[in-house]
Each structure stands twice: as C-alpha cells, then as structure tokens.
Amino acid sequence: MTSSTYAVTGVASGIGAELARLLKAQNHRVIGFDIQETHDNVDRFIMLDLNDVSSIALAAASIDEPLNGLCNNAGLPPRAGLEEAILQVNFLGTRAFTHAMTPHFRTGASIVNMASRAGHGWRDEADQVKRLSAITDKHQLAEFIASEGIDATRCYNLTKEAMILWTVAETEAMVRRGVRINSLSPGGISTGILGDFQKAFGAQMAKNVARAGRPGAPTEIAEIASFLLSPASNWIKGADIAIDGGMGAFNQSDAMDLSCLSLGYEPQ
C-alpha cells in the first residue's frame, strides 16, 4: 500500500487515538491535532484548540506538506456549562479549521467529519442549523443560545445535525477541487465520555444499547473512518454513514411500525 499523509483531530484519546493507530499500522504518516499533547501513533503533533480562533489559524498554518486526508474527530460531549464551547468546537471551529486546511489537500484527498446518530434529526431542525451556520464570531454564541432557548444536550445535537448538513453543502465544491467529503454518525460508543451521553440521553440510550447488545468500540468507528479516508472509498461522496449497531434501524422500525414486514426469526 502506498504511504499517505493524514491529519486527525482529537488524536489524544478515543476514536481519534484508534484511528491514528490504525493509520500507522497501515504505514501511513499521521499528523495529530489535539488540545492535549500526545506523541502516540503520530509522526507530528500540533496543538489545536478549536475554541480559540488564533489557535485554529496557527495550527493550519503549521502544515508544510500535502495531505491525503483529514478526519475531523475532535469534539465536546453534551455537558452542562459547555454550551458555547460545544457549538464552537463541534461545528464552527471545525468548519473554520477545515477551510483553513483545504489548500493543503492533494487531488483525491478525503475529508471525514465525525457527526453522530444524535444528529439524525436534521430534517426537522434544518432552519436552526442554518441560523447557527450564519454565525461568524464566537462572541455571538451566548446571544444565539439565549434566543434559541437551548441547553447543552440540544447544543450537542445541533452541532451534529450541522456537521451532516455542512458535509452535504460542501460536497459539490469539494468535488470540483478533486476532494471528497463524507460524515460518520456513531452511536453509543464506549469512550471516556460515554457517561456524558448516558446522562444526557438517559433511558432512550440505555434502551438502544440494550437492544444492540453492547456499546460500540472506538476501533469499530476508526476502521470505517480509515476506509473513508482511503482511495478504496473513492465513489462515496457527500454521504452520512451510521455506525450504531442497528440503533437507528430499531428506532425507525418502532416509529413506522414495521414489525409486520419482519419474518420474525428467532435464534435457535
């Protein structure tokens, strides 16, 4: 396999750390970005605080080599008190960082945006996503949160809806540049912040995980992200791929009362 150079944000832990490990195992070069310094499975580490506009500009300007891809994995969980930071880090800062990194992409490069199953309500929330997307200065976020009347959980869901729709919106322009962009929507992943999601989503998340049999593993998400970064996925463009152990299907079947379509197989 020809060696490529990939950038990964949120590389110090969870899915980002697993993705870096997998890419290194495939003999690729990894440039890691995080607010927490690490040198595990990266060829070069660059400090990045997506909540700081100057840090975003400095990190992107530090790149002096062409890139075959970028995985936007860094993000904050739905934790009370972090409302402004969630909106900035998970979406506005990530969008700004990606635009700043775009000149470094080789033809054929791939962008993978880490969304979430929590963002799959975007069809009903597109207008609010558009209002968030119109914000150009993080100092506008407090007013936005107050006027929209949203808490940390809604802020989180909104950013993931925004990631999915931004991916769609960017697809044609990126294709013209010779770059692909897609999003991934994990659900119920066993990382260090799983407790935040259990607290935010409560009984519904517990029910989903029970039906799936277990939470997902970071490696299972990283493997799909690695594939999307690679040329092997070159005809996948503008897609959102759910990686949730069937949770989305369970809920959709319930909502549409699809049980009558099932053959009702039971384990022997």
CA dihedral sign, ordered 215, 158, 81, 93 = positive
d(CA 125, CA 133) in angstroms, rounded, equals 12
CA 215 from centroid of its chain's CA atoms? 17
CB distance 59 to 34 below 8 Å: no
d(CA 71, CA 114) in angstroms, rounded, equals 7
Given the structure tokens 């700004």, which residue do they identify? 96
Domains, the chain: 5-261 (3.40.50.720)
Whole-model pTM: value is 0.93
d(CA 6, CA 85) in angstroms, rounded, equals 26
Tens of pLDDT, residue by residue, the chain (268 residues): 569 999 999 999 999 999 999 999 999 999 999 999 999 999 999 999 999 999 999 999 999 999 999 999 999 999 999 999 999 999 999 999 999 999 999 999 999 999 999 989 999 999 999 999 999 999 999 999 999 999 999 999 999 999 999 999 999 999 999 999 999 999 888 887 777 778 888 788 888 888 888 988 999 999 999 999 999 999 999 999 999 899 999 889 989 999 889 776 665 5
Token representation of residue 46: 């660059």
d(CA 114, CA 93) in angstroms, rounded, equals 13
Determine the Cα angle at 154 with ends 152 and 156, to 5°. 70
Token representation of residue 33: 């970005």
